[in-house]
């Protein structure tokens, strides 16, 4: 059985519109799909508005991928199954929208100091209806001929440790988990190995995440090695967390993952999907 609990649309930095993503997921035979755009549920809401599945068709879950700060590190938390109208959750999303605007202004000021004027207007034009982010600055830099490629823009100006890596405005990890939980959702620590933490710091992150009411670890994200999956599985078991997985699909690439994750690749552990697919795998709360 295929599920996918981590996908992006044009509402954030994905290439496919929400409707096209839903269509593709259905064509692939995915049973349960969450749209988890960065800091917005606009893509999910658009898709849900014109998707009314019958009982045996794919189910669509509300989702989001929040950026937040833990111990000075930017980490991502995926929320699934929230009531998007819940006041705490809606206020959280509104705060993130302001944070993104403020961050974009700082990025633009820093790029201007490096001689790249007009990047805010350029990035906004690139973003269109989408949530403004660093990829839009990168796309503008490519379009202006400042760099040859998106990856060069990140390597030199926008990536981790570079001038465009502005993280001061994100909320704290405990806050975003609280918004998700208040709205009846499930909080999942996204791609725990991507933060490049030492082993002990990663274990502290996971412990703090659990203490904050986090429910699950994303043990499968896009393409990863068996060793990475093994490490994450052990971490989930050690901390008694449920497991989740998703493609983190943004667009078609030679190296990225296609939509859909086989449930048996996550098998043997207690999965967050049991909330929506009670007959699959072992139940939430059962011993691991
Ligand atoms: Mn992204
Ligand atoms: Mn992420
Ligand atoms: Mn993602």
Q: Considering every ligand atom shown, identify the ligand nearest to the alpha carbon of residue 247 and give its number.
A: 3
Q: Considering every ligand atom shown, identify the ligand nearest to the alpha carbon of residue 5 and give its number.
A: 3
Residues with CB under 5 A from ligand 2 (ion): 76, 190
| pTM of the full structure | 0.87
Sign of CA dihedral 23, 8, 196, 205: negative
- What residues contact 26, with CB distance under 8 A and at least 6 apart? 57, 58
Residues with CB under 5 A from ligand 3 (ion): 65, 248
Nearest to 286 by CA among 243, 245, 232: 243
Instruction: Give distance in angstroms: CA of 119 to centre of ligand 3.
Output: 24
pLDDT of residue 56: 87
The pLDDT tens digits for 123-165 are 999 988 777 889 999 999 999 999 999 999 999 999 989 999 9
The pLDDT tens digits for 13-27 are 899 999 999 999 999
Cα(280)–Cα(271) distance, integer angstroms: 9
Q: Considering every ligand atom shown, identify the ligand nearest to the alpha carbon of residue 14 and give its number.
A: 1
142-145 long-range CB contacts below 8 Å, 24 or more apart?
144/116
Sequence spans of domains, the chain:
2-88+173-275, 93-158
Cα(216)–Cα(286) distance, integer angstroms: 14
CATH 3.40.640.10 fits 93-158, yes or no: no
Cα(11)–Cα(28) distance, integer angstroms: 22
Domain 2-88+173-275, CATH among 3.90.1150.10, 3.20.20.70, 3.40.50.10800, 3.20.20.140:
3.20.20.140
Q: Are strands 73-80 and 242-246 parallel, antiparallel or unpaired?
A: unpaired
Instruction: Give distance in angstroms: CA of 194 to centre of ligand 2.
Output: 8
Instruction: Give distance in angstroms: CA of 288 to centre of ligand 1.
Output: 31
Residue 72 gets which letter from DSSP? Answer: T
Instruction: Give distance in angstroms: CA of 264 to centre of ligand 2.
Output: 23
Instruction: Give distance in angstroms: CA of 146 to centre of ligand 2.
Output: 26
The pLDDT tens digits for 142-152 are 999 999 999 99
Instruction: Give distance in angstroms: CA of 234 to centre of ligand 2.
Output: 21
Q: What is the mean pLDDT of residues 227-239?
A: 95
The pLDDT tens digits for 165-214 are 987 678 999 999 999 999 999 999 999 999 999 999 999 999 999 999 99
What are the φ/ψ torsions at residue 146 (nearest 5 degrees)? -70, -30
- Does pLDDT of 80 surpass 50? yes
Find out whether 233 and 209 touch, Cβ atoms under 8 Å.
no
Give the CA distances from residue 31 to residues 17, 242, 273, in Å, rounded to whole numbers and listed in that order.
Answer: 19, 19, 11
**Strand residue runs (E) in 116-268:** 186-189, 216-221, 242-246, 261-262
């Amino acid at each position: 059985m295929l599920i996918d609990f981590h996908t992006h649309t044009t509402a954030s930095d994905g290439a496919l519109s929400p409707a096209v993503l839903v269509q593709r997921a259905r064509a692939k035979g995915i049973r349960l799909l969450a749209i988890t755009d960065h800091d917005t549920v606009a893509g999910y809401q658009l898709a849900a508005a014109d998707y009314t599945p019958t009982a045996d068709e794919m189910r669509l879950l509300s989702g989001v991928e929040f950026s937040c700060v833990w111990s000075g590190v930017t980490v991502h938390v995926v929320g699934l199954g929230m009531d998007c109208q819940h006041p705490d959750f809606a206020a959280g999303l509104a705060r993130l929208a302001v944070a993104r605007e403020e961050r974009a202004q700082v990025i633009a000021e820093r790029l201007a100091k490096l001689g790249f004027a007009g990047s805010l207007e350029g990035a906004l034009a690139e973003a269109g209806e989408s949530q403004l982010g660093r990829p839009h600055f990168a796309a503008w830099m490519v379009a202006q001929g400042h760099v040859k490629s998106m990856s060069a823009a990140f390597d030199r100006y926008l990536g981790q440790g570079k001038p465009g890596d502005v993280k001061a405005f994100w909320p704290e990890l405990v806050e975003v988990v609280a918004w998700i939980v208040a709205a009846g959702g499930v909080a999942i620590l996204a791609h725990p190995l991507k933060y490049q933490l030492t082993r002990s710091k990663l274990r502290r992150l996971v412990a703090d995440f659990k203490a904050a009411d986090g429910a699950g670890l994303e043990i499968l994200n896009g393409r990863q090695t068996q060793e990475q999956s093994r490490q994450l599985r052990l971490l989930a078991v050690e901390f008694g967390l449920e497991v989740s997985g998703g493609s983190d699909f943004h667009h078609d690439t030679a190296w990225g993952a296609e939509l859909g994750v086989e449930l048996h690749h996550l098998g043997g552990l207690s999965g967050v999907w049991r909330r929506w697919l009670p007959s699959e795998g072992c139940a939430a709360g059962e011993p691991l």
